[in-house]
Chain A
Amino acid sequence: EPEVTQTPSHQVTQMGQEVILRCVPISNHLYFYWYRQILGQKVEFLVSFYNNEISEKSEIFDDQFSVERPDGSNFTLKIRSTKLEDSAMYFCASSESGGVTYEQYFGPGTRLTVT
């Protein structure tokens, strides 16, 4: 069964540095998402992406964050000038289409630690 993959599984970075988290969505899926989960807290929506543009973003997703689909397979989340509070598990997800009809499939996550 096809799966969403994410790399790296764990990323350690120093405060102020930039990180890029990578995701490969399921190949026939058209909608892509990033969520994050701070340790001990709920999973929070960051951004959704369709047709090469952001379709929705949360208030968390400010100018520090950006997303890109640089080629036909990868979907990336860039975090500029990382802060301690950016430490979290970041999940990528994809769905065949948007809305309530289609299941969102999650990747295994990237644990980001900012020191």
Chain B
Amino acid sequence: GENVEQHPSTLSVQEGDSAVIKCTYSDSASNYFPWYKQELGKRPQLIIDIRSNVGEKKDQRIAVTLNKTAKHFSLHITETQPEDSAVYFCAAVGVNDYKLSFGAGTTVTVRA
């Protein structure tokens, strides 16, 4: 099955700086890569996703890049704000799959 690795496990950044989280996946057939944000005590919520026919996608301060050859994808948050503090999970879905295979999560702390 799919195995998703996520790094780093924790990330502390100064407000206004950028944050980058990286994930790798094992199944070359995976073709959908969502990112979820989970604030303390709340449900995971989709913040951005990318499909395998696209190399990069941006939504305001958030961007995701995908390198299919290397089987890795990254989340970039620019101009970080205190409300960006949360746990971020990457995930992958295979072409004939319905389940999300999650990474271990990254706890992001934005220092004011």
Closest-by-CB residue of A relative to B96 is: A99
Tally of contact residues, A, Cβ under 8 A: 26
Contact of B51 among A43, A100, A103, A104 (CB under 8 A): A100
Binary interface encoding of chain B residues 39-77 relative to chain A, with 1 for a CB under 8 A from any of its CBs, else 0: 000111110010100000000000000000000000000
* Cα–Cα distance between A57 and B90 once the two chains are bound (Å): 21
Instruction: With both chains docked as a complex, state the minimum distance between the C-beta of B64 and any C-beta of chain A, in angstroms.
Output: 15
> Given A100-B32, A106-B44, A109-B43, are A48 and B104 neighbors across the interface (CB < 8 Å)?
no
Contact of A103 among B31, B34, B101 (CB under 8 A): B34
* Cα–Cα distance between A45 and B46 once the two chains are bound (Å): 16
B interface, how many residues as a size bin?
Answer: 20 to 34
Contact of B98 among A31, A108, A109 (CB under 8 A): A31
Contact of A42 among B32, B45, B97, B105 (CB under 8 A): B105
* Cα–Cα distance between A33 and B91 once the two chains are bound (Å): 15
In the complex, whether A44 has a CB less than 8 A from a CB of chain B is yes
B101 touching A45 by the CB < 8 A rule? yes
Instruction: With both chains docked as a complex, state the minimum distance between the C-beta of A4 and any C-beta of chain B, in angstroms.
Output: 8
Binding site for A on B (CB under 8 A): 31-32, 34, 36, 42-46, 49, 51, 89, 93, 95, 97-105
Other A-B pairs, 5, CB within 8 Å; known A42-B103, A48-B98, A106-B45: A31-B98, A43-B105, A45-B99, A45-B100, A58-B99
